Amino acid sequence: MDKTGKRIQGYLECDSTIVRITSLEDIKDFLVRFGKTTNEMSESELYQLTKQKSSDDDLIKDDCDIAYSQNPKILQWGTPVINYKVEEETIAIADNAFALNSSSNSSSYRLTSILLPESIICIGQSSFIHKRNLVRINFPNSLRMIGDHAFKDCNKLKEVVLPKSIQFLGRRSFEETAIDTITVPPRVEKIGSYAFANCSQLKTVVFKGIPKTIGSEVFGNDLALEKIIIPSGSIDYFVKELFPLSKELFEEV
């Protein structure tokens, strides 16, 4: 709490960087372009953000019956829409938001495209899992985390352009998608196991940086894979971390 006894809690964004605000001092630091006491949210804080839940009485539904919690604004759960624009100022897509329960109901696959605002910082786990008609989604420059299984089995999703802001890619986040090329931006710190596994059309991978942590079988069973472009001098690291891929696949630039 600040000196007035009132709790301060929220998030501010500038130049694709999100900081958590808990005091008046944090706000002052932010206003002078990121003072020493402001910190970007950690991976665990981002995960917790996608798990925040509100009671039904506190949710606000739009005219598509898609529900949002407020302060912070999080898309909590969706409906069988075809094309959808996420509301402005939304900072997160909650876990399982569009993962409808009835796998036998064809309406659960209806989602074709979704437009995310430039305020989204994290996409929760399994939020778009099994959306087999999804062909288009933009990833805004504010995005920092894509959770586990987020786009697993979106088998028509071909074009994925990860923003430069992205830092964390969850387990199986793009498994069984239709991507044929993927560029991993330089800020990526962690790639979970099987993140791009079983992508039968994936041919080219470009690493713009060197992630601190790479899980197992990130490109497992990607039989069409032809080339992995990596930063100069990093081949030993990538050969080890992407075991058991052949060294012949790697090209240093």
Q: Which strands sit side by side in the sheet containing 122-123, from one edge to the other? A: 60-61, 67-69, 74-77, 92-93, 122-123, 145-146, 168-169, 190-191, 213-214
Structure confidence at residue 52 (pLDDT): 86
Query: Residue 178 corresponds to which tokens in the numbers above?
Result: 């239709």
In the chain (253 residues long), the average pLDDT of successive 10-residue segments reads 51 64 60 49 92 85 94 90 95 90 56 95 96 95 97 96 97 98 98 98 98 98 98 97 97 97
How many Å apart are CA 220 and CA 231, to the nearest integer?
A: 21
Q: Can you read off the two tokens belonging to residue 215? A: 């899980």
Residue 141's pLDDT is: 95
Report which DSSP code applies to 49. H
CATH number of 42-157: 3.80.10.10
At the second CATH level, the architecture of 160-253 is Alpha-Beta Horseshoe (3.80)
Q: Which regions of the chain carry the CATH code 3.80.10.10?
A: 42-157, 160-253
**Of residues 97, 76, 15, 9, the one with CA closest to residue 45:** 9
pTM > 0.85: yes or no:
no
Give me the pLDDT at residue 58, please.
85
* pLDDT value, residue 100: 62
Strand partners, 230: 252
Q: Which residues of 35-46 are buried (b: 16+ CB within 10 A; e: fewer)?
A: eeebeebeeeeb
Q: How many CB atoms lie within 10 A of CB 211?
A: 21
Q: Write down the pLDDT at residue 26.
A: 61
